[in-house]
Structure 1
């Protein structure tokens, strides 16, 4: 029949070993900086797969990780799926009850845990929830004191593995990975990724001006414990680029050191990571000149942050978009032919877009009536997507699947967007975070990004607060950048918003706090703000203020 082999991850591993075998994996671990070549990496991947096979891991079994970004975790990204098993990446920042739900729901057979996270996993351990687990493996060469059992260390586990192990033939529809949503409303939902989904997603990350090349040095800051590290570990190896992994709980100084010492050219992370690195660079002045592009996602990228990276560091910060259900990247703010000469504010506007849809992704923007709205840069609607790496169902959750996926296969993202005529998308808000004031919508994302554009603001989040007359009004929670006169800054911020948006978009209340609460993926936790920070005094302030006051 026409066509060739199934689309599997083994093909990417083969290319890295046989074409780019001398390229390095550089790994910051609890033992220090470690490095080896793709030749050696591939041998260790086969040894891992062989050891798992010897242990009794079979096609479809789930093997969990509870770990940061380092070479042991990277070996599992290929070793487990290429064996035909499924890699389940557990978010190490989730609360214990969620971790218990994930292990129980996935029925994990083995759990590989970071040496620095053994205590955390031990705290989450519950005999009933972990009933399926037959073995714990500590990533490293030693086992610390722990009640987790049976347990061994990674190096001992793979020691008897065969570096010449032959991978079995794996169907492209075989699940290769699994991640769970962050669970901001209820328990997290499982999303499975097949070899075909990973393969198609990886190929999309090798295209365009931000695509990875074999000449690149990629620093994988995005946590490999959530949404497959945005697919960067797969794409880096597939491209033949040098891989740099920042290890346990990397601080801005660690990231800067790796960029400077390893010549990093590309990376990706959430806005909080890039804010932290910018602040460190302002104080320590590291050499970040090798860094060409930094992809920013997980939340809208403030224009002020993009401008600061360009003006102060000479780094192009570009927005991207995706979600757990889309493997995850579906949009990147790259150039179109007619924008190649953009400079200044025009280029800033382009990079702030969530981006153009990636090759292979289809999208629709629909209104409340389910009909498509025009791509005119103004009309708002919910973003729907479908494509080879967009999920069609949740694991063990048929009711959630029916809510999220249409009968003809379109995923309802829950994100309200506007699409430009030329295809660029702007994410305006989550459906639940829009502020409905007097029958009109206010984008909390756009207001908070405008506030974060003020020079005296480090972070800001805007949420809706109930109002007896207007239904809802916006309230802003702000982290000042240094010592400020709060009363004066409050007035400045409200005026700052109205310079760009209508008066009634200005928040009725501005409260200053030490830190915006964040969820397990580094995004602002607006659920926490609504549940724990909205008190009677804030409600009274909102009720007393006239819109735009």
Structure 2
């Protein structure tokens, strides 16, 4: 009969090992810098898979990871998934009660733990929630003192594994991975990824113009516990690229050091990471000469940040888009033919107002509140719906959430409000829950934030809705400045004038508060819910009431 082998990750591991055996994997760990080749890596992956099988892990069982980005974690990605189990990457920055819910809901049978995160896991431990866990494996060759048990070090665990272990030919609908949403509006929800979902996502990342190529040096900076590390740990092996893993709690200094010493060409992270790196680079001598591009995703990337990287360091900072439910990448910025010769100002306009084009294999549409598709005119707003081989069709153990998010014909409703240009570039205006609904009209908090961050003295800014008697809601901005401010009133007026240059007067924030830092969630993005709960006090509400437009 016609057709080929099932789509699964085993083929990517085979390619990396046999075609690019000498490509290097560099890992910063709690024990120092570790280096080995893809050939070495593949042998250890097979030993891990064999050892897991010897420990009783069967097809469909879940092996949890609680770790930063290192070579042990990278081995678990392929080792667990290719033997037929699911690698469940637990976000180690979540609050204890969410970790308890996640472990209990997923019913993890083994937890592979970074030793630097043992204390955090011990604090989250709950006998009932962790009842399914039969074994703890600590990354490294020793076991620190711990209350968890039974426990073994990773090197001892794989010591008797078979280096010639033969991976099964798995069906493409076999679950291979699992992540949970960050739980900003309730308990985290689980999303399972099949072999096919990962395979198609990796292929799309390798073939896109901004993808990972064989001659790249990829710094996997986005946490591997965050949506499968945006699938980059799978993709680097498939591409045969050199992989650099930044280890525990990496700082801007760590990132700069690895870029310089390892000649990094590509990396990806949330915008706040690149903000911190920019501030560090301005104060030190960072060598960006090897960099081909950086990808910023997870939240909107300010135009000013893109301009600063290009103008000060000749680095292209481009945008991407995706979510936990889409494995995760669905859009990436790239200029269409004929656009590369556009003036720099027009290119920055395009970059800063676009999450990019849909990557190959994905369909999307934009739907208004009446359920009708809106035109691609660069103005009409609606909710982004997506469908494709790596877009989920259900939440794990959450039928009600599935019913709300997935249509009968397979469209996933993202909850993001967007507009689309005639050329197909998607501009993510805001999360539906973060829009400011003023007088029956929408104000896009993300666009106002980007305008505020265009001020030379502003490092970070977040805009949230504040209740108002007449207009229902009005915008308030919380701002972090680079240095101490001598005249706060003057700065507030400058910020208001800056917003008014690009947007209607009724979009201008009625309250602007200077704060020491914007609270961030478990993925490094601004936590709008925390801002609303902890920063919007009576004084902010009174300021908004005093300054809101009369008409």
TM bucket, shorter chain: over 0.9
Q: Is contact 1:264-1:291 (8 Å) kept?
A: yes
Counterpart-to-counterpart distance in 1, 2:402 and 2:104 = 20
Deviation string, structure 1 residues 189-227 (Cα, Å, up to 9, x no partner): 000000000000001101232111101000000000110
Q: Alpha-carbon deviation of 1:548?
A: 8.9
Q: Is the 8 A contact 1:506 1:548 kept in 2?
A: no
The residue that corresponds to 1:214 in the other structure is 214
Q: How do residues 93-132 of structure 1 correspond to structure 2 at under 5 angstroms? A: 93-132=93-132
- Aligned CA RMSD, in angstroms, stands at 0.9
**Other-structure match for 2:286:** 286
How far is 1:351 from its partner?
A: 2.0
| Contact 2:205–2:211, Cα closer than 8 Å, also in 1 | yes
The residue number in structure 1 matching 2:231 is: 231
Structure 2 length normalisation: TM-score? 0.99
Q: Distance in 2 between matches of 1:282 and 1:38?
A: 35
Query: Where does residue 300 of structure 1 map in the other structure?
Result: 300
- The residue number in structure 2 matching 1:140 is 140
Alignment counterpart, residue 509 of structure 1, candidates 508, 511, 520? 511
Which residue of 2 is the match for residue 9 of structure 1?
9
Q: How many aligned positions are there?
A: 549
Q: Structure 2 vs 1, CA of residues 360 and 385 (structure 1 numbering), >3 Å: closer, same or farther?
A: same
Distance across 1 between alignment mates of 2:236 and 2:252: 22
CA distance in 1, matches of 2:307, 2:173: 43
Structure 2 residue 469 is matched with structure 1 residue 468: yes
**Corresponding residue for 2:417?**
416
Report if aligned partners of 1:507, 1:548 keep a CA contact under 8 Å in 2. Answer: no
Check 1:471–1:110 CA distance in 2 against 1; reply closer, same or farther (3 A cut).
Answer: same
Q: Does residue 545 of the first structure (1) align with residue 533 of the second (2)?
A: no
- Deviations 1:118-138 (CA, angstroms, capped at 9, x unpaired): 000000000000000000000
Structure-2 separation of matches of 1:489 and 1:545: 16
Cα separation, 1, equivalents of 2:531 and 2:260: 37
Deviations 1:166-185 (A, max 9, x none): 11121110000000000001
Equivalent residues in 2 for 1:170-189, closer than 5 Å: 170-189=170-189
Question: Does structure 2 retain, via aligned residues, the 8 Å contact 1:382–1:414?
Answer: yes
1:497-528 Cα deviation digits (max 9, x unpaired): 00111111000000110000000001100000
Consecutive unaligned residues in structure 1, runs of 5 or more: none
Asked if the contact 2:458/2:481 (under 8 Å) is kept, the reply is: yes
Residue in 2 that maps onto 1:334:
334
> How has the CA–CA distance of structure 1 residues 229 and 237 changed in structure 2, closer, same or farther, with 3 Å as cutoff?
same
Shift of 1:346: 1.3
- SS for the counterpart of 1:84 is coil
Question: SS of the residue aligned with 2:502?
Answer: coil
Does structure 2 retain, via aligned residues, the 8 Å contact 1:505–1:548?
A: no
Does structure 2 conserve the Cα–Cα contact (< 8 Å) formed by 1:503 and 1:548? no
Q: How far apart in 1 are the matches of 2:342 and 2:86?
A: 44
Q: Distance in 2 between matches of 1:483 and 1:369?
A: 48
Superposed CA deviations along residues 277-311 of structure 1, whole A, max 9, x for unmatched, are 11111001211110111000000000000001101
1:335-354 alignment to 2 at 5 Å? Answer: 335-352=335-352, 353-354=354-355
Q: Does 1:438 align with 2:439?
A: yes
Instruction: Name the CA distance, whole Å, in 1 between partners of 2:404 and 2:338.
Output: 39
Other-structure match for 2:525 = 523
Determine if the alignment matches structure 1 residue 379 to structure 2 residue 362. Answer: no
1:340 is displaced (CA, Å) by 2.2
Alpha-carbon distance between aligned partners in 2 of 1:206 and 1:53, rounded to the nearest angstrom: 31
Question: 1:47-89: per-residue Cα shift (whole Å, max 9, x none)?
Answer: 0000001001000000000000000000000000100000000
Aligned-partner Cα distance in 2 for 1:134–1:539: 51
Distance 1:256 1:548 in 2: 50
Q: Distance in 1 between matches of 2:489 and 2:113?
A: 48
| Partners of 2:247 and 2:268 in 1: CA distance | 15
Distance in 1 (alpha carbons) for counterparts of 2:234 and 2:459: 33
Match of residue 318 from structure 2? 318
- Report the secondary structure of 2:28's partner residue: strand
Return the alpha-carbon distance in structure 2 between the equivalents of residues 132 and 548 of structure 1. 59
Question: What secondary structure is seen at the aligned counterpart in 2 of 1:136?
Answer: strand
| Aligned residue number for residue 404 of structure 1 | 405
| Inter-partner Cα distance in structure 1 for 2:548 and 2:279 | 37
